[in-house]
Chain A
Amino acid sequence: MGYFTIEELYKIALDNKKKISEIVIEDEIINSEKSRKNVISEMKRRYDVMKSSIEKGLRGNIKSITGLTGGDAARIKNINTNFLDSLHNKIISAAIAIAEVNASMGKIVAAPTAGSSGIIPAVIWGISEYYDLDEEKCISALFTAGVFGKIVNKKMNLSGAAGGCQAECGVASGMAAAAAVEMLGGSSEMVIHGFALALKNLLGLTCDPVAGLVEIPCIKRNGFAAAHALTAAQMALSGIKSIIPADQVVDALYRTGELMPSSLKETSQAGLADTDIARDIELKLNTSRFD
């Protein structure tokens, strides 16, 4: 049951009349030679870590190693002037919560990377809380998210250094949108369009972190990319299609990453990393010891 492209994955799901998550679970069972129970519990272990990092981050008493960031997740969670609905609020705060825990050298699950680790769990956890869905659905959704990352990873390295932030937060947002569509009952076709729509809109996103650290703008970007996944999921669930097929969006992602100058690929030579304030922060960090 091999698939190298999203199109092939879709055909397998369609022919077998199964959800994408189910195809991925069965595939994992075959490849790992482990039982279904083991494969599911391995993913549950990851989901448990995700939930505990959300909880930890939302408490708010958190600081990054450098002391530059922390406490923003709690700010959003506790906001009074709440003009967004509670689903959005949960998702944005949870994504930032995980990203803050990550920056403090806390325990997280890379999804697909550490820098983008807040997006997928926040979307899945937020939807399950809001609609009161059982954990089984969340775990299935992680398999759906995972397979899109896996297919992109066959074509390119998922890292800011290889493809800019489009290859981290962009891909994570697409993966999260796919997971959300499946959780909310969308068809496999809708799941794929959710992925394509979210990723398409984040193509070109550079990786220009201040002082080279996974803090600015990464932490807040996790919140943005999570909310962005919801927009894509809503579009896909309403029947909106990506005119560019998902596989071709992935091709565009790869080529855009190749064209992106290395100064904007995790080297902190340009963009936000090259602003006056960023250089000031960098200088301060390099001349002080913060351990």
Chain B
Amino acid sequence: MSVFDIIGPVMTGPSSSHTAGVVKIGALARKIFNEQAESIEIYFHGSFAHTYRGHGTDRAIIAGVLGMGLDDENIKSSLEIAREKGIELTFANINLHGVHPNTLKIILKKDIEKMTITASSTGGGDIVISKINDYEVDFKGKFPTLWLLHKDKPGELAAITSLLAEHKINIAFMKVFRENKGGLASSIIELDQKLGKGLVDILSRRKNIMKIIFVPSLF
């Protein structure tokens, strides 16, 4: 951790968790979806549901999806900017049960592409992405991250990690979630280096990998 994480970030107020952290969630959702969304649906849970207008949480999430940085003076007008671009915006409240009080669900759509992301703002501007579509994940956007949806088979992860090693990519953190033995597993691999498109393509050709998304680190 850097001293600039404490004296910082430079941000648009009023809340590190309800505004700045939420801009980050939007920015990370944009990187995960990797398309300019035509429609954005936001569902606020817990504290977000009660206070989102007064904290500008609605403006913050849209600002992030539009690609604005934490200290962008236009965060205040992000809803108007998005609507001018013809992006359809929907806001509603939801009870997601058993999650962090500052949690939201975002659904991004373009043509037939659709992605649902669940994320929490855990304080001081830190965030965590906890679900992509219906799959459990756990990452914060601090490292270049690889998300893999693959068959839960012996040796699959070993093969993936040795491919990374061959390309001199170091693994910082790694987590595996699976629903049941031999079914589908959702793996998050946080890396010290960026991943080139070539290597993503090689990985995606493996027959046990159903889906692969590389998410660059935030900012």
Contacts and interface: CB of A to CB of B under 8 A. Distances in A.
Contact of A66 (B1, B54, B102, B123): B54
Interface stretch (B12-20, B31-39, B138-146, B186-194): B12-20
Nearest to A112: B6
Contacts, number: 155
Contacts of B88: none
Interface stretch (B45-53, B105-113, B209-217): B45-53
Contacts of B4: 28, 42-43, 46, 146
Contacts of A27: 3
Interface of A: 24, 27-28, 31-32, 42-43, 45-46, 49, 64-66, 101-115, 117, 120, 142-143, 145-147, 149-150, 153-154, 157-159, 161-162, 211-215, 266-268, 285, 289-291
Contacts of A154: 1
A133 to B, nearest CB: 18
A215 B51 CA distance: 12
Contacts of A266: 47, 101
Contacts of A157: 122-124, 126
A104 B13 contact: yes
A147 B4 CA distance: 10
B62 to A, nearest CB: 12
23 contacts: A28-B2, A43-B7, A46-B8, A49-B71, A105-B75, A107-B10, A107-B12, A107-B13, A109-B10, A110-B125, A111-B6, A146-B6, A149-B7, A158-B6, A159-B17, A159-B122, A161-B47, A161-B101, A161-B102, A211-B50, A211-B51, A285-B53, A289-B53
B7 A106 contact: no
B55 interface: yes
B151 interface: no
A213 B19 CA distance: 11
Contacts of B15: 114-115, 214
A268 to B, nearest CB: 7
Interface string B112-148: 0000000000111110000000000000000000000
A142 B8 CA distance: 11
B7 A213 contact: no
B6 A150 contact: yes
A27 B3 CA distance: 9
Given A110-B125, A162-B123, A211 B10 contact: no
A186 B25 CA distance: 42
Which A-B residue pairs are the 7 nearest by beta carbons?
Answer: A159-B123, A102-B13, A212-B51, A149-B6, A146-B3, A213-B54, A214-B14
A212 B11 contact: no
Contact of A106 (B3, B12, B126): B12
A154 B15 CA distance: 21
Nearest to A210: B54
A142 B6 CA distance: 10
A166 B55 CA distance: 21
Nearest to A111: B7
Contacts of B73: 107
Interface residues of B, number: 40
A114 B20 contact: yes
Contacts of A107: 10-13, 71, 73
B56 interface: yes
**Quick one: which of B1, B17, B54, B59 has the most chain A CB within 10 A?**
B54
A213 B14 contact: yes
B156 interface: no
Nearest to A28: B3
Contact of A110 (B8, B59, B101): B8
Nearest to A218: B14
B20 to A, nearest CB: 7
Contact of A153 (B1, B71, B76): B1
A110 B9 CA distance: 6
B179 interface: no
**Quick one: which of B7, B53, B123 has the most chain A CB within 10 A?**
B7
A114 B14 contact: yes
Contacts of A143: 3, 7
Nearest to B52: A212
Given A65-B56, A114-B19, A161-B102, A108 B6 contact: no
A108 B75 CA distance: 13
A103 B6 contact: no
Given A105-B75, A162-B123, A120 B7 contact: yes
A103 B20 contact: no
